[in-house]
Amino acid sequence: MECIEYKKGYKYQIVDSYVTTISFMPDKDVLSPSGYIELTKEGVLKIKKGYAWDGPSGPTFDTRDFMRGSLVHDALYQLMRENLLDKDKDRDAADRLLQQICKDDGMWVLRAWWVYIGLKFFGDPAADPANKRPVTKAPTV
């Protein structure tokens, strides 16, 4: 992705908003308390300029084919930690979406499968509302 840079405390920060449509939807429109993430009941996910995330996690490398997927996945897991998405219902769909985006961006199919398997067995704490992180608010414009 050409729209990322380093942010203190995180590995990356988007310099332009990113919008995509995902295949699973909440029952109502949701907005993260930070103001950086919006997800409509139609499945339109908007991650606003300035959003910071950790990039790919686990024993892996931050490669170009992993960046967009990690951005979307981290935003969805944040919504789960904030109880705006149902972790039990939506987590596997978010993990599968990461796998698909990585493949779409050129990741080798076997590596994308390992990414999914790693999340399946070790990703639960990252989506758990008990592990909610402090909120940093998006600047108002």
pLDDT in tens, the chain (141 residues): 445 455 556 889 999 999 999 998 999 999 999 999 999 999 999 999 999 998 898 778 889 999 999 999 999 999 999 999 999 999 999 999 999 999 999 999 999 999 999 999 998 898 998 887 666 666 655
Closest-CA residue to 104 (of 77, 57, 66): 66
Instruction: Identify the pLDDT of residue 11.
Output: 87
Instruction: Identify the pLDDT of residue 42.
Output: 97
Instruction: Identify the pLDDT of residue 1.
Output: 45
Measured N-to-C along each axis, helices 64-81 and 87-104 cross at an angle, to the nearest 10 degrees, of 170
Sheet holding 52-53, edge to edge: 4-7, 10-14, 52-53
pTM (2 d.p.): 0.87
Which sign, positive or negative, has the C-alpha torsion 68, 69, 70, 71? positive
Which tokens is 7 given? 């942010």
Domain ranges in the chain are 4-131
Burial class (CB in 10 A: 0-12, 13-18, 19+), 24: middle
